[in-house]
């Protein structure tokens, strides 16, 4: 069977795609002459398996297009719909009984019938126990005997339940991180039930990242996400699913990227930036050290220019979340950031958002960073790093710096300053280092 595999190498890595010519009469429907899609793997065996699945989808779409119907989206990685052990057992009982009923409502004849059918179902053609069917049959016997079933979910089901529990599931960026973490793991080991996974499997997964030339920092992020998902599901559903990701530490040997502080030319650029949305964003970030999502996602109600200490209140709002609890804070506005904020509020023209340009469908988009780099050549994190450096060089009290930047200290503002004095302390620190 033809696989339609297309391979290419770049910087020592192999990339495999599915590549196939579109029939001449359907070029208009496909809007291309050559159909090509990444198979998301560099393993030949996995690529062949996925190529077979894509071929079936491609043929189905040809038939749909010729019949005038809409084509279906392509699915490179197949992750089956997860079901719990109890759901699987109930499905099996319903296969023979028609509808599931509580064991107490079954007659003696129905009990005998089910035990007979399940005993036959668990055997293969040679009369031996089928190891693939035995677990679900055992669970069905338990239900019919009035016993509970100890759950053992596949990772995909854990993720499904985790997303139902976590209110960040509507955050596109967070959702993508969760899905990529699951996909990476499923590509490596398949969507197995958690009881079958060991810490050794996780360590092999880390080694697999090394062999593919990917960073251990990325492996750490994937493992941390999966660990958190299992832990939260266990807590919320009061179950005890195996968590093979616990106590697995990823040794990250890659050197951290050094973020350079601003030079004189960049400071002049900031000072002379026009009062466009990008220019105002640049000036506010310079004077406050906010993360770019914190600033670009500000609502007008988060800006307090009439307060005796003008400031912004970084908190979750309808446009975006914040990173963590420590990120919720008040930052005084001084110098260039105060003047820029006044202009931004005027330019907002009654919108709920301070920067409506970057709000799409009611949520903060992913484009502010690109807009900033394209418009100024300055990365947002360089501005944050620059303020950190200025505060350190001015020998600012450590806790004050951390409260300005929203770093986690495990303590609140009032534990260091008492009510009302934290904002004044931060204002004094910023006024001392902001040069214009």
The whole-angstrom separation of Cα 378 and Cα 270 is: 9
The closest of 307, 435, 292 to 368, measured between CA atoms, is: 292
Q: Are strands 303-304 and 34-38 parallel, antiparallel or unpaired?
A: unpaired
The whole-angstrom separation of Cα 27 and Cα 381 is: 45
Q: Which residues lie across from 35 on neighbouring strands?
A: 20
Describe the chain by its helix, strand, coil percentages, rounded to 5: 55, 10, 35
Exposure string for 127-149, b = 16+ CB within 10 A, e = fewer: eeeeeeeebbbebbbbbbeeeeb
The closest of 344, 341, 342, 346 to 355, measured between CA atoms, is: 344
As a whole-number percent, the residues of the chain with pLDDT over 70 amount to 90
pTM of the full predicted structure?
0.48
Phi first, then psi: what are they for 19, rounded to 5°?
-130, 125
Q: State the pLDDT confidence band at 417, using cuts at 50, 70 and 90.
A: very low
pLDDT, position 347: 92
pLDDT, position 255: 55
The closest of 324, 154, 322 to 226, measured between CA atoms, is: 154
DSSP state of 412: -
Q: What is the mean pLDDT of the chain?
A: 83
The label of the residue with tokens 């214009």 reads: 436
pLDDT, position 382: 85
Tokens standing for 364?
Answer: 């903060």
As a whole-number percent, the residues of the chain with pLDDT over 90 amount to 21
pLDDT, position 78: 57
Tokens standing for 161?
Answer: 């339940």
pLDDT, position 262: 82
Q: State the pLDDT confidence band at 85, using cuts at 50, 70 and 90.
A: confident
How many angstroms separate the Cα of 85 from the Cα of each of 117, 119, 153, 158, 290?
19, 18, 7, 13, 47
Are 252 and 350 contacting, i.e. CB atoms less than 8 angstroms apart? no
Residues 6+ apart with CB under 8 A from 187: 40, 41, 46, 77
Strands of the sheet with 329-332, listed across from one edge: 303-304, 311-314, 329-332
pLDDT, position 416: 44
The whole-angstrom separation of Cα 338 and Cα 347 is: 14
Which residue did the predictor score with more confidence, 170 or 365? 365
The closest of 201, 219, 223, 217 to 257, measured between CA atoms, is: 217
Give 11-51 as a 3 state SS string: CCEEEEEEEEECCHHHHHHHCCCEEEEECCCCCHHHHHHHH
pLDDT digits over 127-144, tens only? 888 888 888 888 888 888
The whole-angstrom separation of Cα 94 and Cα 22 is: 44
> 336: how many CB neighbours lie within 10 A of its CB?
19
pLDDT, position 100: 64
pLDDT digits over 144-184, tens only? 888 877 778 888 888 888 888 877 767 777 788 888 888 88
> 176: how many CB neighbours lie within 10 A of its CB?
10
Any idea which architecture 264-433 has in CATH? Orthogonal Bundle (1.10)
Are 127 and 70 contacting, i.e. CB atoms less than 8 angstroms apart? no
Mean pLDDT for the stretch of residues 52-79:
83
């Amino acid at each position: 069977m033809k696989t339609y595999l297309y391979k290419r190498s770049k910087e020592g890595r192999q990339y495999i795609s599915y590549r196939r010519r579109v029939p001449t009469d359907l070029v208009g429907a496909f809007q291309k002459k050559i159909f090509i899609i990444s198979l998301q793997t560099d393993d030949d065996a996995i690529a062949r398996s996925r190529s077979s699945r894509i071929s079936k989808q491609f043929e189905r779409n040809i038939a749909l297009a010729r019949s005038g119907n809409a084509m279906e989206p392509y699915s490179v990685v197949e992750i089956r719909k997860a079901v719990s052990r109890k759901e699987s057992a109930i499905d099996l009982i319903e296969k023979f009984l028609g509808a599931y009923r509580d064991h107490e409502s079954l007659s003696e004849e129905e009990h005998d019938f089910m035990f007979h059918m399940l005993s036959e179902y668990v055997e293969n053609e040679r009369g031996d126990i089928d190891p693939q069917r035995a677990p679900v049959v055992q669970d069905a016997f338990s239900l019919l005997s009035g016993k509970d079933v100890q759950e053992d979910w596949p990772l995909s089901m854990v993720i499904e339940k985790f997303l139902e529990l976590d209110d960040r599931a509507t955050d596109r960026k967070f959702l993508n991180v969760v899905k990529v973490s699951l996909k990476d793991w499923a590509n490596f080991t398949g969507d197995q039930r958690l009881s079958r996974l060991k810490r050794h499997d996780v360590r092999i997964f880390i080694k697999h990242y090394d062999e593919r030339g990917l960073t251990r920092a990325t492996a750490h992020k994937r493992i941390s996400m999966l660990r958190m998902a299992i832990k939260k599901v266990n807590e919320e559903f009061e179950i005890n699913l195996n968590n093979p990701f616990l106590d697995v530490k990823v040794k990250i040997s890659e050197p951290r990227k050094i973020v350079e502080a601003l030079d004189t030319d960049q400071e002049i650029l900031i000072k002379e930036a026009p009062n466009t949305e990008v220019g105002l964003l640049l000036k506010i970030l310079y004077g406050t050290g906010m993360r770019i999502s914190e600033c670009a996602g500000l609502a007008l109600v988060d800006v307090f220019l009439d307060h005796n200490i003008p400031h912004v209140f970084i908190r979750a709002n309808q446009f975006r979340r914040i990173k963590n609890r420590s990120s919720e804070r008040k930052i005084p506005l001084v110098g260039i950031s105060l003047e820029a904020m006044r202009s931004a509020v005027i330019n907002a023209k009654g919108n709920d958002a301070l920067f409506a340009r970057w709000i799409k469908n009611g949520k903060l988009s992913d484009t502010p960073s690109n807009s900033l780099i394209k418009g100024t050549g300055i990365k947002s994190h360089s501005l944050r790093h620059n303020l950190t450096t200025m505060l350190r060089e001015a020998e600012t009290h450590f806790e004050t710096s951390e409260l300005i930047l929203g770093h986690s200290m495990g303590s609140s503002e009032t534990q260091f300053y008492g009510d009302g004095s934290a904002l004044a302390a931060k204002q004094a620190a910023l006024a001392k280092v902001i040069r214009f």
